[in-house]
């Protein structure tokens, strides 16, 4: 029994070294920024919606984002859709990016604290955010509550007015916390946080209920997306782009 235990520890150690080396050798991803023909109409609409607000995207990079929809990894669908939409946000609206699940861990604490502010809130952040999205691999867990806590307690420090979070996730919390319970307690003392949740290809009832509660308790929107076009429409809606405008924009595959 002791020999088997030692062998297991050695195997896991070498596996961890292999994964780290693989991550370091990952090639740089490229991306294309799309500019809409009706740019002035889009920016006017978004600027009105985001008055006195700043947008922090929280994007899921858990391992399940490697699952396929119509033969395409969900993580690639998310990247490509955001590459179309982010440049349409006006330059005078601050945006930022927090990611989670981008680090694998052998312990509960490693997996459930794998959340990082990848791009701090700032102006003209689309290229920086896209660079981070395309340079990140989906490998880990789904620490949604921890990510929300970090976003509200740290990422929005010094920000006045409405704090707008857009959470894009393909799964529910799996770190023994409840985002629903967290926001219920948060909103007892706060009224400046709005969380829009996009549930991307989630078919678990309990997960959807938790995420719906997270959005609705903050007067945010809860949206289901099961395809690339669904995801694009959901992002357009959370940002504030009208149906007429978004209907004239083609989302690339």
| pLDDT, position 230 | 96
Q: Is residue 211 part of a domain?
A: yes
| pLDDT, position 91 | 82
Q: Strand, coil or helix: what is 135?
A: coil
Neighbours of 119 (CB within 10 A): 22
Q: Is residue 17 part of a domain?
A: no
Q: Is residue 106 part of a domain?
A: yes
CATH code: domain of residue 119? 3.40.50.410
CA–CA separation, 58 vs 144, rounded Å? 9
Q: Is residue 2 part of a domain?
A: no
Two tokens at 190? Answer: 């706060």
* CA gyration radius, the chain: 19
Backbone angles phi, psi at 171, to 5 degrees: -160, 170
pTM for the structure as a whole? 0.78
pLDDT < 50 positions in the chain:
1-52, 248
Into how many domains does the chain fold? 1
CA–CA separation, 95 vs 118, rounded Å? 11
Range of the domain at 37: 28-246
Q: Pairing mode, if any, of strands 68-69 and 95-100?
A: unpaired
| pLDDT, position 109 | 78
Q: Is residue 68 part of a domain?
A: yes
CA–CA separation, 63 vs 93, rounded Å? 31
Q: Strand, coil or helix: what is 67?
A: coil
Q: Is residue 238 part of a domain?
A: yes
Residue in the block written with tokens 């990082």 = 116
Q: Strand, coil or helix: what is 144?
A: helix
Q: Are 58 and 167 spatial neighbours (Cβ–Cβ below 8 Å)?
A: yes
Query: What string of DSSP letters covers 137-184?
Result: ---B---HHHHHHHIIIIITTT--SEEEEEEEESS---SS--HHHHHH
CA–CA separation, 15 vs 22, rounded Å? 10
Among the listed residues 135, 168, 126, the one whose alpha carbon sits nearest the alpha carbon of residue 34:
126
Among the listed residues 103, 73, 82, 85, the one whose alpha carbon sits nearest the alpha carbon of residue 35:
85
| pLDDT, position 5 | 37
| pLDDT, position 252 | 54
């Amino acid at each position: 029994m002791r020999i088997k235990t030692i062998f297991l520890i050695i195997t896991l150690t070498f596996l961890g070294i292999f994964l780290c080396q693989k991550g370091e050798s990952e090639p740089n991803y490229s991306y294309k920024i799309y500019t809409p023909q009706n740019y002035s109409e889009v920016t006017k609409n978004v600027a009105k919606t985001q008055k006195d607000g700043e947008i922090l995207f929280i994007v899921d990079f858990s391992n399940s984002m490697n699952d396929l929809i119509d033969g395409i990894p969900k993580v690639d669908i998310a990247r490509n859709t955001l590459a179309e939409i982010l440049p349409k946000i006006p330059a005078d609206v601050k945006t930022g990016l927090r990611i989670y699940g981008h680090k694998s861990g052998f312990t509960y604490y490693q997996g459930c604290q794998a959340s990082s502010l990848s791009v701090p809130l700032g102006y003209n952040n689309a290229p920086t955010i896209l660079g981070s999205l395309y340079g990140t691999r989906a490998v880990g867990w789904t620490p949604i509550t921890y990510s929300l806590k970090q976003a509200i307690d740290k990422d929005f420090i010094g920000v006045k007015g409405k704090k707008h979070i857009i959470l894009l996730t393909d799964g529910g919390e799996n770190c023994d916390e409840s985002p629903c319970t967290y926001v219920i307690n948060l909103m007892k003392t706060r009224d400046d946080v709005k969380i829009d949740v996009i549930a991307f290809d989630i078919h678990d009832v309990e997960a959807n209920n938790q995420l719906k509660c997270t959005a609705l308790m903050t007067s945010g929107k809860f949206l289901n997306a099961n395809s690339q076009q669904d995801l694009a429409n959901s992002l357009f809606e959370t940002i504030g782009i009208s149906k007429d405008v978004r209907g004239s924009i083609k989302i690339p595959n």
